[in-house]
Amino acid sequence: MIITVWAGLSGCSHSDNPPKEYENEYQPDEPISFIMPRPKPTPEGEELIIESITCTSDQDEDGINDLADIVEGARKDIENKPRYTDAYYDGGYPPDHEGVCTDVIWRAFKNAGYLLKDMVDEDIRNNTELYPRVQGRPDPNIDFRRVKNLRVFFDRFATSLTTEVIPLDVENLKEWQAGDIVVYDDPMEHIAIISDVRNKDGVPYIIHNCGPYTQENDMLIYWHENYSPIIAHYRFPKETTLPN
């Protein structure tokens, strides 16, 4: 299978004529394609059972826990099929039919009752020095759509988990739960939601927008091995989780 990744992979949007500091850290001229190898099959006769973990928090009080709501919100973004569009918007929010990788995150959080933009903006306003990507000049029109800013926010307000993914290792894979957030480092910075779908090796899919629109696919390890390494893995909100 051939995977095509579109330009503007950092999720750091800009306008047609942005200030230089708003330019993407990585901006290839054309889509980049790789041939995606088939995953290794599960050893014959073995059944891989990975415990699901749910959280006790239900921010929007809809009877669905936050992690499940986040996955549901990410899937709504898939259904909406926002075209990968790297732009700077007055007011911060892109239209529903446009977006980048970071837009999957705030849209998924909104479905769980969290206004990620407001939370990030407030923390940047109160702790600007903790956000080096802001360069001392907060801009609510873009800050919540910067991967580096989201990393600082989640480092502070989410549970940090393993960044190692080991196929067929039940104990390791149990650490990767639906609704978690994975962040990839430079040079092709990226952020995604962990899906509740797993491949035969127990490795979860990710829900993300790397172009042409938001998708759910088996790229958790593939991105790590072919584009950029996993640098962070979070679960939000920071709380005690319970086996389900």
CB 11 within 8 A of CB 189: yes
pLDDT band at 239 (very low <50, low <70, confident <90, very high): confident
Instruction: Give residue 54's pLDDT.
Output: 86
In a domain, 54, yes or no: no
Instruction: Give residue 24's pLDDT.
Output: 41
Residue 169 has pLDDT above 90, yes or no: yes
Instruction: Give residue 3's pLDDT.
Output: 52
Instruction: Give residue 43's pLDDT.
Output: 55
Residues 86-129: pLDDT tens digits?
999 999 999 999 999 999 999 999 999 999 999 999 999 999 99
In a domain, 42, yes or no: no
In a domain, 217, yes or no: yes
Instruction: Give residue 222's pLDDT.
Output: 98
Domain limits for position 181: 66-235
In a domain, 109, yes or no: yes
In a domain, 191, yes or no: yes
Residue 4 has pLDDT above 90, yes or no: no
Share of the chain above pLDDT 70, in %: 79
Residue 130 has pLDDT above 90, yes or no: yes
Residue 198 has pLDDT above 60, yes or no: yes
In a domain, 229, yes or no: yes
Residues 15-61: pLDDT tens digits?
333 444 444 443 443 444 344 444 445 555 567 999 999 899 999 99
Number of domains forming the structure of the chain: 1
pLDDT band at 9 (very low <50, low <70, confident <90, very high): very low
Which contacts qualify for 137-141: CB closer than 8 Å, 24 or more apart? 140/92, 141/88, 141/89, 141/90, 141/91, 141/92
- Indicate the SS3 state at residue 76: helix
In a domain, 175, yes or no: yes
Among 13-17, 79-83, 232-236, 240-244, the minimum mean pLDDT is found in 13-17
In a domain, 128, yes or no: yes
Which residues have CB under 8 Å from 180's CB, separation 6+? 67, 161, 193, 194, 233, 234, 235
Classify residue 34 by burial, with Cβ atoms within 10 Å: 0-12, 13-18, 19+: middle
Task: Give the predicted TM-score (pTM) of the model.
Answer: 0.84
What CATH number does residue 147 fall under? 3.90.1720.10
Instruction: Give residue 137's pLDDT.
Output: 97
Instruction: Give residue 112's pLDDT.
Output: 98
Instruction: Give residue 36's pLDDT.
Output: 44
Structure tokens at 168: 């067929």
CB 133 within 8 A of CB 149: yes
